[in-house]
Amino acid sequence: MPTTQTARIKHEHSTVKVRHINNNNNRPDIIIKNKKEETCTLIDVAIPSDRNDVQKEAEKKLKYKSLCIEIQRMWSLKCTIIPVIIGATGIVTRSLRKSMEAVPGKHSIDSLQKTAVLGTSHIIRKVLQCEA
């Protein structure tokens, strides 16, 4: 019995092959390709310093704009870019809640913030224990 696949999720280790974009650095962290709804969502996550969160969000949108246009042409899917930007101390951008509504599944911004803060504290502990 054949199975039908309605959505495909690719993570950072897989590659999206496009015609005119040969830059290997132009890969989002997560790609959700939903055949049933004819959509493709590009998600890229960053944890910058707290002063750079708005700049980093604009940078991510600009970085993947050409990839999104190429995906629309090749796959005939509506493409959206969702930058998930959480500051090193847990600060989030104003548009994150609205952006996260477009991501399928259950997710909590609180848990994302907690993960970012725990990662930052882990790095600080490692640095302070290191003797120079």
Q: What is the pLDDT of residues 82-123, one digit of tens each?
A: 999 998 888 888 888 888 888 878 888 999 999 999 999 999
Q: Residue 39 carries which side chain, given as an amino acid letter?
A: T
Measured CA distances, 34 to 19, 64, 73 (Å): 21, 18, 16
> Three-state secondary structure along 57-96?
HHHHHHHHHHHHHHHHHHHCCEEEEEEEEECCCCCECCCH
- The pLDDT of residue 51: 83
Nearest 5°: the CA angle 109, 115, 117 is 105
Tabulate helix, strand, coil % of the chain (nearest 5): 40, 20, 40
Domain boundaries, the chain: 7-129
Q: What is the pLDDT of residues 27-86, one digit of tens each?
A: 899 998 888 889 999 999 998 887 888 888 899 999 999 999 999 999 899 999 999 999
Q: Are 60 and 83 in contact (CB under 8 A)?
A: yes
Q: Each residue of 95-122: b (16+ CB within 10 Å) or e?
A: ebeebbeeeeeeeeeeebbeebbeebee
d(CA 64, CA 114): 27
- 62 phi/psi in degrees, rounded to 5: -70, -40
